Every structure is written in C-alpha cells, then in structure tokens.
Amino acid sequence: MLPKEQNELLTRTGPGTRMGDVTRRYWVPALLSWELPEPDCAPLRLKLLGEQLVAFRDTAGRVGIVDERCAHRCVSLFLGRNEEGGLRCVFHGWKYDVEGNCVDMPNEPAETDFKHNVHLAAYPAVDMGGIIWTYMGPKDLQPALPKFEFTQVPETQRQVTKTWEDCNWLQGLEGGIDSIHSSFLHRSITAGANRGGLAGFRAQSVSGKLDLDLTDYGYRYVSQRPLGERGDYTRLYHFVMPWTQIRASQGADGFREWKPQISGHFWVPIDDENHMVWNWTYRWDDEPFPESEWSARQPNYPGGEQIAGFRKVRNKDNNWMIDRQVQKTQNFTGIDGINTQDHAVQESMGSIVDRSHEHLGTTDKAVVTARLLLLKAIAAVGDGGDPPGVGDSYHGIRAIEHVLEPGVAWRDALLPEAYPNGARRIMEQLTEKRVK
C-alpha cells in the first residue's frame, strides 16, 4: 500500500507541485513531428503537466511552444495566424515569436508601443526521432537531449504513435512496468494459441521471479519464468526516470524468428486525470521495417484499436466494448486490442486510484521501486539537487529477451546484451543456431 500523502505527492504534476517540479526537469514528449508538418502550418492546442499551451512551426521551421493565452486580453492563440516568423493574435494583432517575445503590437501608437516588455511563457523545443520534445524546467538546469536509441535510427527503422488515456499518468506507468500481467490480461484462450513462442511461455508460466539493479537513470529489471528442463524465459527491461519503459520485442522464443527490434513507452501527464501514452518500436540492424510491419497512421492504431483524435473508440464510456462471449471463448478479457486491454484495467481504477487499499506482492517489485525512486527524486529536487536520469547514461541501452539454459545467471548472459554491441552478438549467435 501507499499512504495517501505519498499518493498525492506522486500523482500531482501541475505547476507548483513537487512532482511537477521533478517532471519539469526532463525533456517531455509533446507532439508527433507530423502534427506540425510544415512552416507556417496551423497551430495546435497542447496540454502538458496541467499547462494549457499552443504549438506552432514558424516560417523558418522552428517550433514554438508557448502559453495559449495572448498577453493582451487572454484570447486563445489557437485562433492565431501563423505568418512571417510568428503567431499573430486575431483579436488585436499582437504577434509572438517561438521564444514567446511579443514582436509586433500594431494596435498601439508608436509612442505607446511597449512590445519589448511583453513575453509569453515559452519552452524550448527540439524535433528528434519523430517527436517534438519540450523542456519546461529552469533554463540553467536543462538536461541532456533525449537521445534514446530509437531517435537516432533512420525514419524507416522506427514507428512512433500515441494514445490518450483517461486516468492519472502513474496508473499507466505502473501498469506498463508490471511484467507479469501479460500472462492474464493479454492471454488468448483459443485452442492452440498459446503453445509456442513468447505468448506461449507467458501462458504456460504465469508466475515469475523479478530482480533489478538500480542505475543512475532508474533501474534495469528482469522477469524470469520457469520452463522446466528448458530453463527460464528471461526478459530484461529498463525503467528510465521519470516515465519511460524500454522493453524487448525480439519475438518468438529466442531462437526462431528473432528480430533485432525493441519497443518502449512514455506515460506523459496531460493533467492529473489524463495522460498520453507514447508507443515506439525500432530496429537497430540498419534494415528498414518490412512493408507488412508498417503501422497505419492515425486513426488506425497498431493492434486494431480504432481511435479518433488520439482517443480510443473503445473507452470507459462504453465499457471498452467488452464482449462476454469473446471473453469465454477467445481471450481472457473479451476486449479487443493489447493497448486497450491495458487502458481498460488502468482506467477502471478511477481517475486517480487510492493506493492505500492495495496489497502488493513479490511480483510488484518494479512498481514499488519506481515509486521509491520518484519519491527520492521529489526530495532531491526539493533540496536543490538533480533527479536521476538527467544525464546521458541511458542513450545506449537496449532491452533483450532470451531463453536461458538452467543454471545460467541473467546478469552474466544478458547484461552485455543490454548495450549495442552485445545485442548484435546475440543476434549473430541465434543466426548460427538456425543455420545449424
């Protein structure tokens, strides 16, 4: 269980909150790059960490993320004209550049022009890896750029999407880093569906042992599921502060159809009762995704989850379209779509769950540790220090999954593979096994 006072600390990220002070120390995924497709395109409303903002790409292609309200009469700049290097309010023509500076005040006579004294709150932005990121913290404490490996591969080797989730961000994060739930929540019960591959391992071995190592960016952790004489299906993940999971998606059973592919999520607060789930997958072997694997862009979401405006059609208002007959005969939940299944259980807890009612077990180790790290980060920032993960130590990390033979220690086998050269070695080893 988590005391109500700590639950309140961790779940509130608006301006002036202690968790908000922590999350503002990191680069925040704000928009998909294609949402601002060209210079002088239409501006977009954007809500992050409880702040109502507007984003635009100026004539030179620079991205501005500024307070939505014009400093004159508080009109929404979403209505603004994006023209000639700035965003102009349609009410009286005040114009702002990407740094929030008022650069034109045409309704004022020259002798009373005071534009140089008017500034909107504005946040720096960087367009990288198919995502527009912003930094909302103190200017002199800006962290290293968010160079996750997926941001550095060619566009043809990555997929990035996002989906709105109707609950607090911490519920999404904790659901994602819980590695055991897939044995139940995502399980198919169709005859023969769970006999082979990783899905089969999760169905056959529904309990597991968790272990983790603290790092300067958060922690790395593994779940190990016993497979009898064959050994342990072992999956190594990373949790990067404050809202990132990197997970293996190599496929099959570690020997057949193995793919040099890794996935991940960000769970980014919109406000205290909503967050955006970012989903990304990439290949690191210098090969593009096969045409058959490319995900259609919105509103078609990977896994068949139809969404509109980044909101799920299957949502809490229609009970996620749960089908009780499908639940009896095809899958464990009766809900279509892996991500919608995740969102359904997390949203069913309520907008902000009261964690004082929980009874946690040994397989919740990753969840408990994430909470402790977030609480420590709150204390560190409150004392004037840095939270974990603002450096660049996570830039080269990878997730990996493999079936380890009996008696093989996961740290010996997988830690070298959690970094670029090691992952290539394991792919080469598996290729040799297939040839033999």
pLDDT (average), residues 92-103: 98
Place of tokens 């999404």: 172
The terminus-to-terminus CA distance of the chain in angstroms comes to 51
**Residue 194 above 70 pLDDT?**
no
Q: Return the domain boundaries, the chain.
A: 27-141, 149-435
Q: 149-435: what fold?
A: Naphthalene 1,2-dioxygenase Alpha Subunit; Chain A, domain 1 (3.90.380)
pLDDT at 306: 62
What does 37-49 look like in DSSP terms, one character per residue?
A: -STT---EEEEET
pTM of the model: 0.91
pLDDT at 296: 42
Cα–Cα dist 301/308, whole Å = 10
* Cβ burial, residue 245 (10 Å; 0-12/13-18/19+): buried
Instruction: Provide the CATH number for the domain formed by 27-141 in this structure.
Output: 2.102.10.10
Q: List phi, psi (to 5°) of 232.
A: -130, 130
Residues 24-42 pLDDT 10s? 999 999 999 999 999 999 9
Higher pLDDT, 309 or 392: 392
What rounded mean pLDDT belongs to the chain? 88
CB 189 within 8 A of CB 329: yes
Q: Give the full edge-to-edge strand order of the sheet including 86-88.
A: 81-83, 86-88, 95-96, 102-104
CB 134 within 8 A of CB 62: no
CA 421 to the chain's CA centroid: 25
- The phi-psi region of residue 337 (left if phi > 0; otherwise alpha if psi is between -120 and 50; otherwise beta) is left
> Which token pair is 359?
């009874």
Residues 326-369 pLDDT 10s? 989 988 899 988 888 999 999 999 999 999 999 998 889 999 99
CB 90 within 8 A of CB 81: yes
Name the residue among 355, 307, 340, 287 with its Cα closest to residue 5: 355
Cα–Cα dist 49/287, whole Å = 37
Residues 361-404 pLDDT 10s? 888 999 999 999 999 999 999 999 999 999 999 998 999 888 88
